[in-house]
Amino acid sequence: MPTNFRPENLVKLQMQNSKLQKLWEGVHSLAGLMVMVMFSVMFSMATNLQELDLSYCSSLVELTSSIQHLNKLKWLYMSYCKSLKILPAGMYLQSLDHLNLRRCSRLKILPDISTNISTLILDETAIDDFSFIFRLKKPINLGFCKTKIEKLWAIEQPLTSIMTMLSPTLKRLYLSNIPSLVELPSSIQNFHNLDILNITECINLKTLPTGINLQYLRDLDFTGCSRLRTFPDMSSSIIQLYVAQTGIVEVPFWINKFSKLKYLNMKSCSNLERVSLNIYKLNELSVDFSDCGALTEASWTDCPDNLFSEVSTHFICLNLDPEALLHQRPFVFEQLIMSGEQVPSYFTHRTTGTSSSLTIPLPSTSLSQPFFRHIS
Ligand SMILES: *[C@@H]1O[C@H](CO)[C@@H](O)[C@H](O)[C@H]1NC(C)=O
Ligand SMILES: *[C@@H]1O[C@H](CO)[C@@H](O)[C@H](O)[C@H]1NC(C)=O
C-alpha cells in the first residue's frame, strides 16, 4: 500500500482467496506480520467501510471484536471460510444487510446481529440455535440448507406455527437435507411475496399444501424430495419448476394452468408414468423427462385438433413409444436421437451405417411446428 493511502475513505475491501488467518488483532504467522499490522491500523480508521469480502479465506479462524466499529458495513461475505470458528459476540453491526456464511462448516454460534438484516445465508454451517430468526424484522432471503434448523420444530413447536412467526417479508427461502420435514404447511401462503422456494433433498417430504396460489412465485425447486408423489399445485405463476428425482407419478391435466412455465425438470423421476399432453398448450416450454424409466403413457384427452399447428414445444422425452405417438397425431420430428441396433420399422426413409450413430434425414420443419425429440 502506498504510504499516502487513506483508509478512512475505504468503502469496499475484497480479499477473497487470501491466506488471512486472523483479522485486526494478533498475528499468527511471522510472514503475515507486516500485513496484519497494516490491517489493524487500516481497519481502525476504515469506519466508512460498507462492503467486506473475505470469501474463500480458508485459513481465517476468528474475526475479532474490532469489527464492531464498522458501523456502516452493509455487506459481509464470508462464504467458504472453512476454518472460521468464532464471530465476536458484540459484533452487532447496525447497518448490516447481507451476511453470507455459506460453508463456514466449523461455525457453531451466530452472535447477535442487527435484526434489520435482509439476507442471511447460513447454508452448511454448524449453527444449532436458530431462534434468532423470529427476531428478524424484514428478512427477504434466508438460506438454511444442510443446517440443523429442524431443531426449531422438532423440539420446540410445529413447523406450522414457526411459519406464522416469521415475518411475511420473506421472498426467498432455501432449505435442504432436512429429514424431519414431512409436510409443508399451508401457512407458507403467509409469505405472499415469495418468489423463490427451494426445498431440496428433503427425503421425507410427502405433503404439499393445495388450494394456495403464491402469486409472485417464479422458481420452485423440490429436487431430490424422493417421497413427493404429487405434482405441486401452489402457484400458477411459476416460470421454472424443478421436481427432478421426486416420486411424482403424473403430470396432471391441469398443467396448462401454469401459463408462464418455461422450464420443467423431471429428470430421473423413476415413478413418473403419465404426462398429460395438455403440456403442449404451454408455449416455449422446455421439459426434461430424461431417465424417467416408467414413463410409457402420454394422455391425449382434451387436446384440440389444431393444437399442433399452434405451439412450439421442446420436448425431451425418454421411453415413450414413438410409433404409438406417430399413429395418433401427425408429429414432426426435428431431431431424433435413438440408441439400439435397428432403425425402427415405421421409418420410411432409411439409411444404413456401420458406426454406432447414423443420421436419418428428416423433412425440414418450420419452427412454428411442434417437434418431438426422442432419446432412448
Ligand atoms: C433498523 O432500521 C431502522 C430504519 O429502517 C432504524 O431506524 C433502526 O434503528 C434499525 N434498527 C436497528 C436495530 O439497527
Ligand atoms: C436450489 O438450491 C440448490 C442448492 O441448495 C441449488 O443447487 C439449486 O440450483 C437451487 N435451485 C434454483 C432453482 O435456484
Question: In the chain, what are the domain boundaries?
Answer: 9-17+29-119
Q: Is 291 in the pocket of ligand 2 (CB under 6 A)?
A: no
- Residue 233: is its pLDDT beyond 90? yes
Q: Is 174 in the pocket of ligand 2 (CB under 6 A)?
A: yes
- Residue 312: is its pLDDT beyond 80? no
Cα 116 to middle of ligand 1, angstroms = 6
277-294 mean pLDDT: 83
Q: Give tens-digit pLDDT for 323-368.
A: 555 554 444 444 444 434 455 565 555 555 554 444 544 444 433 3
HSE-up of residue 31 (Cα within 13 Å, Cβ side): 3
Mean of pLDDT over the chain: 77
Q: Give tens-digit pLDDT for 152-194.
A: 876 556 677 777 788 899 999 999 998 888 999 888 999 999 9
- Residue 242: is its pLDDT beyond 80? yes
269-286 mean pLDDT: 85
Q: What distance in Å separates the CA atoms of residue 101 and residue 91, rounded to the nearest whole number?
A: 15
Cα 293 to middle of ligand 1, angstroms = 54
Best mutation site among 100, 221, 263 for ligand 2, i.e. most ligand atoms within 8 A of its Cβ?
221
Q: Is 94 in the pocket of ligand 1 (CB under 6 A)?
A: yes
- Residue 33: is its pLDDT beyond 70? no
Report phi then psi at 22, rounded to 5. -155, 145
DSSP H/E element including 13: strand 12-14
Q: Is 195 in the pocket of ligand 2 (CB under 6 A)?
A: no
SS3 35: helix
16-33 mean pLDDT: 52
Q: What pLDDT score does 280 carry?
A: 77
Q: What pLDDT score does 41 carry?
A: 55
Does residue 213 come out as left (phi exceeding 0), alpha (psi in the -120 to 50 range) or beta?
beta
Q: What distance in Å separates the CA atoms of residue 272 and residue 293, rounded to the nearest whole number?
A: 8
Which bound ligand lies closest to the C-alpha atom of 121?
Answer: 2
Q: Please, are residues 351 and 358 in contact by the beta-carbon 8 Å criterion?
A: yes
Q: What distance in Å separates the CA atoms of residue 150 and residue 27, rounded to the nearest whole number?
A: 38
Q: Give tens-digit pLDDT for 48-73.
A: 889 988 899 888 888 877 788 888 99
User: Going by CA atoms, what residue is nearest to atom 1 of ligand 2?
Assistant: 198
Residue 6, classified by CB atoms within 10 Å of its CB into exposed (0-12), middle (13-18) or buried (19+), is: exposed
